Amino acid sequence: MNTITTLEELLAHAHALESEAVERYEEMAEQMEVHNNPELAELFHKMAAVERKHVDKVEHLAGDNPLLRLAPWEYRWQTQEAPESVPVGHSHYRLTPYHALSLMIACEERAQAFFAEVARATPDSTLRTMAAQMAEEETHHAELLRQWRSRYPEPEPGWEVDLDEPVSQE
Amino acid sequence: MGKPEVITPKHTAKDYKSAVKPVWCPGCGHFGVQSALFRALAYLDLPPQQVAVISGIGCSSRLPNYTACYGFHGVHGRALAVATGLKLARPELTVLTVGGDGDGFSIGGNHFLHACRRNVDMTYIVMDNEVYGMTKGQPSPTTPPDWDSKIAPGGTGINPFLPLAVALASGANFIARGYAGDPNDVARMLVEAIRHPGFSFVQVLSQCITYRPEEKEWKHSVHASPEEPATTMVAAAQRLVGEDSLTTGVLYKGERLSYTAHIHPVQRSLAEIEESFVL
Ligand SMILES: Cc1ncc(C[n+]2csc(CCOP(=O)(O)OP(=O)(O)O)c2C)c(N)n1
């Protein structure tokens, strides 16, 4: 169900979607730093920086109009969290670049589906045009990420197995 | 569905995050609880210095270190005792207690009962992964009896504790259950819990991906209650006893008056008090 009816609401959603993506990628970068996976830490920082540019872009689109903030549970996502955030529980300390890029592609695909649905459901032509444009951009991002991922081989099953037991802390 | 609620807080979730990087395993549900908490505090627009996050020991109990609020990482199982003292001494603070099922229901079980009974105005968040995460996967009071592990081959065979029913019977004034994979929904519950007077208890199912990887399936099995919160103990008891432990939502909102300290004006000067300590 989608009830985004105004341009302000669409921009509010786009802004939250990109800002929360930045936060989640930064969180995952920190996780990888803590768990000694520097290659992935760098990749997630890089992606956070890309998403930050998308936040700026939405702010630019809003111009002088203040961006609305909604209560966290009031956003009309079709998913539990904002669609461009990697869901809690999908991270792992032994992730490879192939996995990370797959998670990122899935984020762009969910964002695409979200904007496409807004465009499909609205009778307002200005809203439809902007939402369709946003959906198209997400398609493009997913495509770029797919090209990036193609440089890495798909990891063998069992990639997450660690023969060292976890350490007890306290 | 009506118009979404527009908010204008000065704070954002980031304002509550400290510079300390969590040591939780990537994929741990506790990250979802942390996100939910920061979103709830930003929604309530509470300055970080007006909030105190108190904990015991466990992976979950590390949360105070990761917040920019005041925090106290205390002794295993004793978080509620510390929090009670703090709230009575500094009633203007928003006091939150956080921890795990081991911390809150095993070693801290007695404090849990009496914190519910006292009904001091604070919120207790239990990040329940149905295992002792920090000490390498021992069964906890909420672990299913047939959970097979190296440390309890074939399972413990012991019935799990029902934290929500126990909280109700002991006098908690607000009872909710959330799921860490849905931080926005947990944020909504935390906002209600913090606003509700008295002792509010929020159990958050928070998967341990290291010792209980099967908990990843929670995302398919948790389901939101279609009902409004119960408002009487009888209605709540019918709801909480015999339920499947995977129903999320605010399940009970009571009307008990919260306990406040009866602070008497200081009768004696500091010098007199000091004198009484001199043998
Ligand atoms: C007095 C005392 N007894 C035992 C311990 C060992 N200990 C540390 S954490 C813990 C249990 C943690 O489990 P839980 O509270 O469920 O938190 P989680 O790590 O799963 O988040 C135990 C038994 C301790 N630190 N202090």
Residue ranges per structural domain of chain A: 7-149
Q: Do A92 and B23 touch (CB under 8 A)?
A: no
Indicate the residue type of B219. Answer: K
What whole-number distance in Å separates Cα of residue A19 and Cα of residue A80?
A: 16
CA-atom Rg of chain B in angstroms: 19
Q: What is the pLDDT of residues B18-62, one digit of tens each?
A: 999 999 999 999 999 999 999 999 999 999 999 999 999 999 999
What whole-number distance in Å separates Cα of residue A76 and Cα of residue A13?
A: 8
Q: Do A165 and B136 touch (CB under 8 A)?
A: yes
Instruction: Determine the structural domain holding residue B186 and report its residue range.
Output: 18-275
Tokens representing B20 are 């300390």
Band of pLDDT at residue B263, cut at 50, 70 and 90 = low
Average pLDDT, chain B: 95
Q: What is the share, in percent, of chain B residues with pLDDT greater than 70?
A: 98
Which of B24, B33, B57, B138 has most ligand 1 atoms within 8 Å of its beta carbon, as the pocket-test mutant? B57
Q: Say if B7 falls within a structural domain.
A: no
What whole-number distance in Å separates Cα of residue A91 and Cα of residue A32?
A: 9
Band of pLDDT at residue A2, cut at 50, 70 and 90 = low
Ligand 1 in reach of B99 Cβ (< 6 A): yes
A7-149 has CATH 1.20.1260.10 classification = yes
Domain count, chain B: 1
Q: At what angle do helices A38-62 and A7-34 cross, to 10 degrees?
A: 160
Band of pLDDT at residue A169, cut at 50, 70 and 90 = low
Residue of B nearest to A2 (CA): B1
User: The domain spanning residue B103 has which CATH number?
Assistant: 3.40.50.970
Predicted pLDDT at A75 = 96
Q: Say if B12 falls within a structural domain.
A: no
Q: Say if B164 falls within a structural domain.
A: yes
Give the ligand 1 atom nearest the CA of B132: 13
**Which residues have C-beta within 8 Å of that of residue B40, sequence separation ≥ 6?**
A72, B186, B187, B188, B190, B191, B194
What whole-number distance in Å separates Cα of residue B188 and Cα of residue A71?
A: 8
Q: What residues does B248 pair with on adjacent strands?
A: B224
pLDDT at B212 over 90: yes
Q: What is the pLDDT of residues B156-190, one digit of tens each?
A: 999 999 999 999 999 999 999 999 999 999 999 99
Q: Say if B66 falls within a structural domain.
A: yes
Q: DSSP letters of B93-130?
A: SEEEEEEEHIIIIIITHHHHHHHHHHTBSEEEEEEE-S
**Is residue B144 exposed (0-12), middle (13-18) or buried (19+ Cβ within 10 Å)?**
middle
> Would you tell me how many other CB atoms lie within 10 Å of the CB of residue A63?
7
Tokens representing B50 are 């007006």
pLDDT at A116 over 80: yes
User: What does pTM read for this prediction?
Assistant: 0.95
Band of pLDDT at residue B279, cut at 50, 70 and 90 = low
Q: Say if B5 falls within a structural domain.
A: no
Give the ligand 1 atom nearest the CA of B103: 15
What's the B194 CA to ligand 1 centre distance in angstroms? 26
Q: Say if B1 falls within a structural domain.
A: no
Indicate the residue type of A42. Answer: E
